[in-house]
Amino acid sequence: MCGIVGVVSTAPVNQLIYDALLLLQHRGQDAAGIVTQQERKFYMHKAKGMVRDVFRTRNMRALPGNIGLGQVRYPTAGNAASEEEAQPFYVNAPFGIVMVHNGNLTNAKQLRAELADTDHRHTNTDSDSEVLLNVLAHELARATSGAPLKSVDVFKAVRAVHKRVRGSYAVIALIAGYGLLAFRDPYGIRPLCIGHGADGSVMLGSESVALEGNLYTLERDVAPGEAVYIGLDGKVQAEQCAEKSSLHPCIFEYVYLARPDSVMDGISVYQARLNLGESLAKRVISTVPPSEIDVIIPIPESSRPSAMQLAQLLGLPYREGFVKNRYVGRTFIMPGQGARKKSVRQKLNAISSEFKGRNVLLVDDSIVRGTTSKEIVQMARDAGANKVYLASAAPPVRFPNVYGIDMPTKSELVAHDRTVEEIRQVIGCDALIYQDVDGMKKAIGALNPGVNGFEASCFDGIYVTGDISEGDIAALNAGRTGGAEEGDVDTSRLSLPNAQDA
C-alpha cells in the first residue's frame, strides 16, 4: 500500500504535489518522493521519512515545472531499509520515463529474469516497482519502433504490460516531452481516481481526498484495466487495455487503509464503516447481551464510525476512552513486531474515568497480528475496567496478503489456525466478537452494485487473480527484507482456495 499522485497543469506543480502527498501520508510513512519536468528535463528529490521531513524549502525550489508526480511509500516488497527503493523510479530509454506504483507484483521474479535474458534490461534494486517500470519501458520501445510517441502506441504498450504483469498495480508514469500515463490492474485491486481543477489542470491520485483537498473536482475512478494518457496540453485520452476486466477492489481499503473522507470506486469509506458497525451489532447481540455492556469505546481512529453506529443501534453510551498521540505512525504499517509493540503505549493513553468499574466493549477496525489488541486490552484493565470485551468490525485475518498489504506470513496472523476462543485467550479479553465475511462484503458492496466483488483474500483465502499458490507466497516472502520479521515464513499448512471457485 502506497499513495501516488500525478498532475498536469499550466502552473508550477511542486507545491500541489507536496500538498497532495500530505493528504495521502496515511498510506505510507517510510519514504517520499517527487519528480517534475521542465523542458524535457526531470527534477527529482526522494528520501526515507515523512513528507514534511523529506522536503525542505531548498528541495521544493529545485523542483520546477508544470507536470509531475509523487509517492509516499509503505514497503511490501524489496528492502524497507533501502533509500534507493524510494520512488519515483527512472529509466532513460525510451524517451525517459519516471514512474510511481501502488501495489505488489506476484510474478516479479519471473519478470526480472525475462528482463535480463530476453529484454536485455537491467534492474538495480529488489523493488517490484522497478521491474514494472522496465516492463513498461520495454513495451513502449516495441510499440514505437524508434518513432515519436503517439497515443495509440501508449495504449498498445499498456495492453502488452497487462499480458505480462500479474498482481496489483495502480501506476502513474511521466514520459519526458509527451505527458502523463496512468493505468490500473484488470481487477482494480488498488485504487486510482482522476479529477480536474478550475483552470483545466488534471490530477490523478490514490484517493479522492488528495484531489478534493486541493480544490480539484473528482471526476471518476480509473476503471480496472484502463489506461489514461494526458498530454502536456492537458488533453485526456482513455482506453480499456485489458482483454478481461472486473472490478474487485481491496476490501481492506474500506476497513482500515483509506481515509474516511475518501470515496473509492463509488463507495464512501465513511459510510462503509458505518455499515460495518450496523452489521457488527447483530454479532455482538448474539455473543454479549447489551445489558452486560456499560459503554462502547473505539480504538482510534479507523474504528470510530463503526463504534458510533454500533453504540446507537444497541442504545449504549459511546465514549472516547483513548487519547491518541498523532505524532506516532500507524502501528499496523510499522516494519517489525518490536517496533509495533513498543509504539502502542506511546501512541495511545487511556482515560481512567471512562474505564473504572465498567464493563467496556472496545471496537477495533480489524485485528491482524493481535499484538496491539493484547496491549490495549491490558491498558483497559490497568485503567480499572471490570470486564473488557473486544469487537472487530472486520472478520478474522487468517490468510497472507500478496497484493500490497503488510500481512504476508501466516505466523504473524493471530487468527491463523486458531478458533475465536483461542484468539480470545491470546488477546486476553473477556469476550471476542468478529464480523463475518459475508456480512462484511454485503455491508460494503451494498453501497455500489457496480462492484463485481472484492479482493478479500486475507479474510477468505480467495486470491482474485487466480494464480497464487503456496510456493508463490513463500517466494514473495523470501524476497522481503523489510516489513515482516525474519524467519517467519511457513506456508506448509496454508489453504488456498482457487479464485475461480468463488
Residues known to be catalytic: 2
Cα 207 to Cα 191: distance, rounded to the nearest angstrom: 7
DSSP H or E stretch at residue 340 = helix 337-347
Cα 10 to Cα 257: distance, rounded to the nearest angstrom: 33
Q: Which residues of 305-316 are buried (b: 16+ CB within 10 A; e: fewer)?
A: bbbbbbbebbeb
Question: With the CA atoms of 135, 140, 143 and 149 taken in that order, what torsion angle do they form, in degrees rounded to the nearest 10?
Answer: 170
Q: Do 391 and 362 meet the contact criterion of CB atoms below 8 Å apart?
A: yes
Q: Do 85 and 128 meet the contact criterion of CB atoms below 8 Å apart?
A: no
DSSP code for 257: I
Residues forming beta bridges with residue 195, ordered by sequence position:
203, 218
22 vs 18, 84, 182, 249, 332, CA distance in Å?
Answer: 6, 21, 21, 23, 19
Q: What are phi and psi of 443, to 5 degrees?
A: -60, -40
Rg (Cα) of the chain, in Å, rounded? 23
Q: What are phi and psi of 267, to 5 degrees?
A: -115, 125
> Residue 94, preceding bond cis, omega within 30 degrees?
yes
* Three-class SS state of 86: coil
309 vs 272, 416, 444, CA distance in Å?
Answer: 11, 29, 14
Handedness of CA 216, 219, 220, 225 (dihedral sign): negative
* 371-382 helix and 420-427 helix, angle to the nearest 10 degrees: 60
Cα 80 to Cα 32: distance, rounded to the nearest angstrom: 13
